[in-house]
Structure 1
Amino acid sequence: MRKNFLLAVYEKNYTVLNDEGINYMVKGLNENLDKFIPAEKTPMLIQTAIMPFNGMIIYDGFISTADMQLSQELVSKAFEDYSYGQKIYSLLPKNMN
């Protein structure tokens, strides 16, 4: 599933990518996204592809970022979605629309 996500926050073992209120708990095969994008820059818009791998969600290693300032309203919505949104740790074929 390749699309634009809001990189919301880093957790200890996951990068949280948000899409319309759904939090995808993503891992890297070799490196997690926090190795490339500092936590101070979150939340930020990125484009990547996520996919299932061994019961986890991983990103494909290709990331596009947009160097733009997010509105305070969007930042607040991102943290609200992170706090209260559904968290998805594994992708099944029915979830991959």
Structure 2
Amino acid sequence: MHLREIEVKRFYHTWLGLLEFTNRKHNIVPELKITRDPKVLNPQQLLPIKDKLWEDESVIDEYLKQNEKIFDATERDTIISWKRRVSGKFIIMKHLKNYTVFMHAEEGGKLYGVTGISNLIEDMFPSPSLPLYAEATLVPFAGRIIYDSLIEPYQIRLGPGIRKNLNNDYRNLKSVHGIVTVL
């Protein structure tokens, strides 16, 4: 599952505006002109900008303050909600009907049901390639969990023993905590 077209446009308008503000504030990639069309952007140029944003959460507050008269309540609430993000290393475990399950790789991690943005996550990472280690930031959006538009997979091949252990961890976490679908 992925967002509806109107939600995709709203997400990228909001997200890329915040990245553009972060880039200008910190002068990370000075030559970059961020457009509201994600198809023309180079993800490698956006990575250091999004890393700086998540490193310095005060950028969100400053962005909201400087644009308070421009944002409607939905856009403002969306940006504020991104403070509840979950960042780090995940294992993308499996694709289900309504989302893809990401298992937080830290000790005692949780399972998150993550929806694709404009495409299915399964299109990027087909089932035969799972489980897959990746770095990501999960954010709330439109009552669901999505990722901040950039997933960085690790090129690590997992042997059958590790796969079996991960699947056992998945089953245990699912039975004890379930799958988190709202941040």
Gap regions ≥5 residues in structure 2: 1-85
Greater helix percent: which structure?
A: 2
Percent of aligned positions that are identical: 26
Higher relative contact order (CA 8 A, sep 6+): 1
Q: How does 1:1-97 map to 2 (within 5 A)?
A: 1-19=86-104, 20-85=108-173, 86=177, 87-91=179-183
Gap regions ≥5 residues in structure 1: 92-97
State TM-score, norm by structure 2: 0.46
Greater strand percent: which structure?
A: 1
Structure 2 residue identity aligned to 1:76: K
Could you tell me how far apart the structure 1 residues matched to 2:159 and 2:110 are? 20
State TM-score, norm by structure 1: 0.83
RMSD: 1.5
Q: How many residues align?
A: 91
